[in-house]
Amino acid sequence: MAAAGEKRGILPGWRSLGAALALLAALCGGNSVERKIYVPLNSTAPCVRLLNATHQIGCQSSRNGDTGVIHVVEREEDLPWVLETGPTPPYMVLLEGHLFTKETLLKFKESPRISGIAVMYSKPPPAEGFSMDLPCPNDGFGAYTSDHGSQYSHCNGTLWNPLGSGMSYEDFHFPVFLLQDENETEVIKECYMKHNLPGNGSAPQYPLCAMQLISPMHAVTSTVTCMRRNSIQMSFSINPEAVCDTLTDYNVWSTVKPVNISGPAPPDDQVVISAARLDGRSFFWNLAPSAESTVSALVTQLAAAEAIHKAPDSQALPRNIMFSFFQGEVFDYIGSSRMVYDMEKGKFPIRLNNIHSFVELSQVALRNNSELWVHTDPISRSNESVNTEVEQLIKYLKNSSVGTNVTLQENDQSQPLPPASFQRFLRVRHIPGVVLTDHRRAYSNKYYNSMYDTPESIHMNYPSGLSKDEALNYVTEAAQSLSEVATLLARTLYLQAGGNNTAGIQADVKSVTRMLYGFLVMSNNSWFQSIIKPDWKGNLENKPPQYYVTASLIGRTQSPNPPTSFVIAVLANLTGQVVNYTKEGCQSPDNAAEPKLYEYLWVQGPLNDNSTTRAPYCVRTTLRSYLAESPAFELNEWDSTEYSTWTESRWKEIRARIFLVPSYELEVITLIVGIAVLLLSFGATYFINAKADILFTSVQDSSGSVAY
Ligand SMILES: *[C@@H]1O[C@H](CO)[C@@H](O)[C@H](O)[C@H]1NC(C)=O
Ligand SMILES: *[C@@H]1O[C@H](CO)[C@@H](O)[C@H](O)[C@H]1NC(C)=O
Ligand SMILES: *[C@@H]1O[C@H](CO)[C@@H](O)[C@H](O)[C@H]1NC(C)=O
Ligand SMILES: *[C@@H]1O[C@H](CO)[C@@H](O)[C@H](O)[C@H]1NC(C)=O
Ligand SMILES: *[C@@H]1O[C@H](CO)[C@@H](O)[C@H](O)[C@H]1NC(C)=O
Ligand SMILES: *[C@@H]1O[C@H](CO)[C@@H](O)[C@H](O)[C@H]1NC(C)=O
Ligand SMILES: *[C@@H]1O[C@H](CO)[C@@H](O)[C@H](O)[C@H]1NC(C)=O
Ligand SMILES: *[C@@H]1O[C@H](CO)[C@@H](O)[C@H](O)[C@H]1NC(C)=O
Ligand SMILES: *[C@@H]1O[C@H](CO)[C@@H](O)[C@H](O)[C@H]1NC(C)=O
Ligand SMILES: *[C@@H]1O[C@H](CO)[C@@H](O)[C@H](O)[C@H]1NC(C)=O
């Protein structure tokens, strides 16, 4: 298949010979000009290669891209054409979204007649659900290992993502792209209908509409292999070029009471941790809308942080509360394993034995009958003192749910935890804690880690005709529901921290509304514009952010990816104080008062009255962010089974285009004619050169002689 693609790739070079083309145009009615036109596809998402300690997954094209005749596969009945009967392989399959299944992909994988796949969105999303993640996500990297509840490992007991096909973790030897723009899909379909549609069962006539998908990958085999190649490059090459990068971005955390980061917290300082994850994924690169799987918890936790900061006695609580946002959790818990590692190694101001308890929010937007499920860890609860603390925590949760529209439900004690960052903490210490979700057993989310995990899937529906600013403040059903959960979380954390008057603690539905809009619909809104750092304003876009963790370019410092920069902006806005500092005072922390306790953010500010300039200001906050790279890379344990080893291959270019190809015979004729013309022109040049004196100078002479 790859060979065929390359063979076709050589010919256009010959074809570009002007003379050959001109001759050919004369020979076959002048359609060669049309044939040369490439139409680039401008809105696609590729599947790329990722690697872990032992495997490579994802997709790649051959070096110059793979080409094939387009065939639209919209129904099962269209499959035999591309797999068996079609006369012009290899085929580029334009695949209808609902056929993008494990079954079809495995057939394509085995067939030498398929050179690549361009997938269309299924509209509406598949009602039966769609997830290409594993049925047992993050297996092997959570708490349930041979030393801690091995009876629960491999999701024994509860399969969390039964709809998961696992295709995101398969290795494909051809390119797979997602077509993100319906209008472009229409352009391709039109080309197909005009040129490729098999008429009356007979073979379609050349020229045919073809597609080229270009996504060659530099890294192969595994992280061990690519990191070794990276380090050889780094030590011996003058112009080092890595072949793969680690999946890395920033963890974000903040505390209600400021923490002195220049040394360890005193051993008797106790901290209640509230956690949520910051990232998601899908089969395709940098495509992860993650509405339910990530944003539901993220936004809820931000709203709870705001509510607690507003409580009058929040600074006087006996225990501190830490809000943490973990990055790269989808890829075997990169962020949480980093924090636990730093806590163990004394590189984090809060230590493991400062942790009083742990509350984690997982997916919470799809509550059935307003039920919120409490999950606990049966292994740590077998310790009497831990169990007492867990029971106390559940009591607080129940008290906090009174008066909210949340029905708190306790899960069976014998059921293990769903995949959660908390599991990384339980791996090293028996900490009392809970994980809150909208599902009792299997996920309520039918689209876990897929491109269909969109705002619509969590009931965020806006009436048509709203302006941007109206939509920003339009309270959806989802906003209402999540603010109830945020109120419950805020009250619970407040009680856990030793507070006793929850009456005034209430999440602000307006904040939740604006966050949902910014995190799921459009980050380029007036609120995000006013609270972001000027350096990061390029992250604002008129479309939803994507929650893919991104790769850290080895040897370069990196700024946070867009969603992380928004979390930092929002958290600072909702929990920080505006201080009267100049730009210089704000940006150089050493000039600021108490630099070890606070971070200072210079933000763009709101528009002035004339709407042309902004009024920037300084915000003082307890939030911090730090690079969350898997400890496996600091330890140079590239084959680690303890820490995440995921890396992303580098590539030179990713591109897709369509064009018309002539028949193979025609290409051969073109080639022969081309060579003939070339030889002819060599001959002519030789002849002209050799006889140049006769052909040119003699004309002058003769004209001269005629003049006389
Ligand atoms: C690497 O990924 C593959 C595919 O998901 C999996 O089978 C394998 O167990 C992983 N290896 C490690 C060390 O986690
Ligand atoms: C697609 O085309 C229609 C009509 O030409 C246009 O209204 C619409 O905005 C286009 N969609 C995109 C995503 O460009
Ligand atoms: C992509 O953009 C180019 C240049 O703007 C345009 O010529 C081309 O038609 C676009 N592709 C499609 C499929 O619309
Ligand atoms: C299909 O067959 C019918 C009748 O046999 C004929 O009129 C028609 O032109 C054919 N269409 C194509 C696309 O060959
Ligand atoms: C932070 O701790 C350092 C050393 O542990 C100490 O010197 C400094 O005064 C502390 N800062 C504040 C504001 O408490
Ligand atoms: C229970 O946990 C506590 C605190 O983690 C620990 O001090 C104690 O030794 C444990 N008890 C047993 C029986 O393991
Ligand atoms: C963001 O929105 C503003 C108007 O509010 C607009 O001027 C600007 O071009 C937009 N930025 C992007 C990247 O679309
Ligand atoms: C947060 O944003 C709002 C709206 O832009 C603004 O009024 C408020 O002053 C900001 N607060 C902080 C602490 O930045
Ligand atoms: C802010 O600080 C400047 C100089 O430090 C001072 O002149 C001004 O009055 C302050 N503004 C407020 C509102 O405190
Ligand atoms: C807009 O207003 C701000 C202060 O309100 C002023 O500094 C700025 O110069 C004004 N810009 C224009 C173009 O008038």
- pLDDT value, residue 682: 78
Using DSSP's 3-state secondary structure scheme, residue 618 falls into strand
Q: Which residue has the higher pLDDT, 14 or 689?
A: 689
How confident is residue 15, by pLDDT bands cut at 50, 70 and 90? very low
Average pLDDT of span 376-403: 97
597 within ligand 5 shell (Cβ under 6 A):
yes
Instruction: Say whether the peptide bond before residue 560 is cis (omega within 30 degrees of 0).
Output: no
How remote is the CA of residue 644 from the centroid of ligand 5, in Å?
Answer: 34
| pLDDT band, very low/low/confident/very high, at 686 (cuts 50, 70, 90) | confident
Rounded CA-CA distance 364/603 in Å is 31
User: Is the Cβ atom of 159 under 6 angstroms away from ligand 1?
Assistant: no
Is residue 132 lining ligand 1, measured as CB closer than 6 Å? no
Ligand 8 atom 2: residue of nearest CA: 573
| pLDDT bucket at 5, cuts 50 / 70 / 90 | very low
Q: For residue 537, what pLDDT is reported?
A: 95
DSSP string over 486-537: HHHHHHHHHHHTT----TT----HHHHHHHHHHHHT-S-SHHHHHHS-GGGG
pLDDT at residue 74 above 50? yes
* Ligand 4 atom 12: residue of nearest CA: 199
Residue nearest to atom 6 of ligand 7 (CA): 524
Mean pLDDT of 643-665: 91
Burial 200-237 (b: 16+ CB within 10 A, else e): eeeebebbbbbbbbbbbbbbeebbbbbbebbeeeeeee
Which residue has the least CA distance to atom 13 on ligand 1? Answer: 53
**Element housing 372 (H / E):** strand 371-375
Ligand 5 atom, smallest distance to 263 CA:
5
Asked if residues 522 and 470 have their Cβ atoms less than 8 Å apart, the reply is no
Q: Is the pLDDT of residue 478 over 90?
A: yes
pLDDT at 697: 54
Cα distance between residue 294 and residue 276, in whole Å: 8
Separation of alpha carbons 473 and 663, rounded Å: 57
- Residue 701 pLDDT more than 80? no
Rounded-to-integer distance, Cα 560 and Cα 575, Å: 20
| Predicted pLDDT of residue 684 | 80
* 31-40, 63-72, 83-92, 696-705: least confidently modelled range: 696-705
pLDDT band at 703 (very low <50, low <70, confident <90, very high): very low
Residue 209 in contact with residue 658, Cβ under 8 Å? yes
Closest CA to 625 of 345, 266, 278, 358: 278
**Exposed e or buried b for every residue in 602-627, given b needs 16+ CB within 10 A?**
bbbbeeeeeeeebeebbbbbbbbbbe
Q: What's the rounded mean pLDDT across residues 136-161? A: 93
Contacts of 11 (CB under 8 A, 6+ apart): 667, 670, 671
Look at residue 275 and tell me whether its pLDDT is greater than 50.
yes
pLDDT of residue 674: 79
Place of tokens 């596969």: 73
Ligand nearest to the CA of 580: 9
Look at the block and give the residue holding tokens 């992303």. 648
CA distance 336 to 358: 13
pLDDT of residue 29 exceeding 70, the answer is no
Which of 6-10, 118-122, 138-142, 299-303 comes out lowest in average pLDDT? 6-10
* pLDDT of the residue at 497: 98
Of 274, 277, 289, 290, nearest in space to 328 by CA: 277
Ligand whose nearest atom lies closest to the CA of 615: 10
Please answer whether residues 51 and 244 qualify as being in contact, where contact means their C-beta atoms are separated by less than 8 angstroms: yes
pLDDT at 693: 67
Task: Tell me which of 19 and 403 has the higher pLDDT.
Answer: 403
Q: What is the DSSP letter of 605?
A: -
Q: Which residue did the predictor score with more confidence, 377 or 678?
A: 377
Overall average pLDDT of the 130-146 stretch: 95
Distance from the CA of 597 to the center of ligand 5, in angstroms?
A: 8
| H-only helix segments in 111-210 | 182-195
Q: Ligand 8: which of 530, 570, 620 to mutate, judged by most atoms within 8 Å of the beta carbon?
A: 530
pLDDT band at 707 (very low <50, low <70, confident <90, very high): very low
Rg (CA), the chain: 31
C-alpha dihedral sign at 579, 583, 587, 592 = negative
Quote the Cα angle for 400-402-404, to 5°.
90
pLDDT at 690: 75
Lowest mean pLDDT among 195-209, 529-543, 635-649: 195-209
Beta carbon of 641 within 6 Å of any ligand 1 atom? yes
Q: What is the pLDDT of residue 688?
A: 73
Half-sphere exposure of 73 (CA within 13 A, CB side): 29
Instruction: Please state, in angstroms and rounded to a whole number, the distance separating the CA atoms of residues 142 and 332.
Output: 8
Q: What is the pLDDT of residue 235?
A: 84
Residue of minimum CA distance from atom 11 in ligand 1:
54
Q: Are 375 and 435 in contact (CB under 8 A)?
A: yes
pLDDT value at residue 126: 96
From 43, 180, 183, give the residue whose CB has the most ligand 2 atoms within 8 Å, as the site to mutate: 183
Nearest CA to ligand 8 atom 9: 578
The helix/strand/coil state of 215 is coil
Predicted TM-score (pTM) of the model is 0.89
How high does pLDDT run on average in the chain?
Answer: 90
Q: What average pLDDT does range 631-658 have in this prediction?
A: 96
140's tokens: 């092997």
Confidence of residue 554 (pLDDT cuts 50, 70, 90): low
Specify the higher pLDDT residue, 26 or 331.
331
Assigned token pair, 693: 């004196």
Per-residue confidence band for 201, with pLDDT thresholds at 50, 70 and 90: low
Does the beta carbon of 266 sit less than 6 angstroms from any atom of ligand 5?
A: no
Comparing 259-273, 415-429, 461-475, 580-594, the range with the smallest average pLDDT is 580-594
Distance CA 140, CA 53 (A): 13
